[in-house]
């Protein structure tokens, strides 16, 4: 008799733990994908940025979580101010950054109050290149 009362609660808890585990695993995998793409992009390729290579590396690293969307870009700053053309800043080389963002949506098995479904996991890795 007690099993009939406890079983649905235990099953609900089990599904919740599985959902949380999937979300946590995806979060770590997406974070690693962004970092792998940024690490690939930080290598100086004759002042050219291989955004295709960064995206490919990030997607390959995040393939454990399924289809991960990866975007990559290079940007420059002069003393904290944006420098889109990456030109010299008062005779000094600009600070060059590589940024890779990885995104993956995770569909939950159950609806949870206060949590949208699917949950979008987005992680960004930024490395200073020069």
Q: What percent of the chain has pLDDT over 70?
A: 96
Measured between alpha carbons, how far is 21 from 28 in angstroms, rounded to an integer? 11
HSE-CB of 113 using CA atoms within 13 angstroms = 0
Measured between alpha carbons, how far is 126 from 29 in angstroms, rounded to an integer? 17
pTM: 0.84
Measured between alpha carbons, how far is 86 from 102 in angstroms, rounded to an integer? 24
- Per-residue pLDDT tens for 6-65? 999 999 999 999 999 999 999 999 999 999 999 998 875 656 778 899 999 999 999 988
Q: According to the model, what pLDDT value does residue 49 have?
A: 77
Q: According to the model, what pLDDT value does residue 45 have?
A: 60
SS3 state at 74? strand
Q: What is the DSSP letter of 36?
A: H
Measured between alpha carbons, how far is 93 from 90 in angstroms, rounded to an integer? 8
Residue 118: pLDDT over 70:
yes
Average pLDDT over the chain, rounded to an integer = 89
């Amino acid at each position: 008799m007690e099993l009939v009362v406890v079983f649905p609660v235990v099953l609900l808890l089990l599904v919740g733990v599985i959902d949380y585990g999937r979300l946590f695993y995806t979060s770590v995998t997406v974070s690693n994908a962004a970092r792998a793409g940024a690490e690939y992009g930080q290598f100086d390729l004759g002042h050219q940025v291989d955004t295709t290579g960064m995206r490919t590396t990030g997607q390959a690293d995040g393939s454990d979580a399924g289809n991960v969307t990866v975007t990559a870009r290079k940007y420059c700053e002069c003393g904290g101010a944006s420098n889109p053309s990456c030109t010299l800043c008062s005779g000094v080389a600009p600070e060059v950054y590589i940024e890779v963002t990885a995104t993956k949506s995770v569909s939950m098995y159950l609806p949870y109050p206060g949590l949208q479904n699917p949950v979008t996991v987005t992680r960004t890795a930024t490395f200073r290149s020069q």
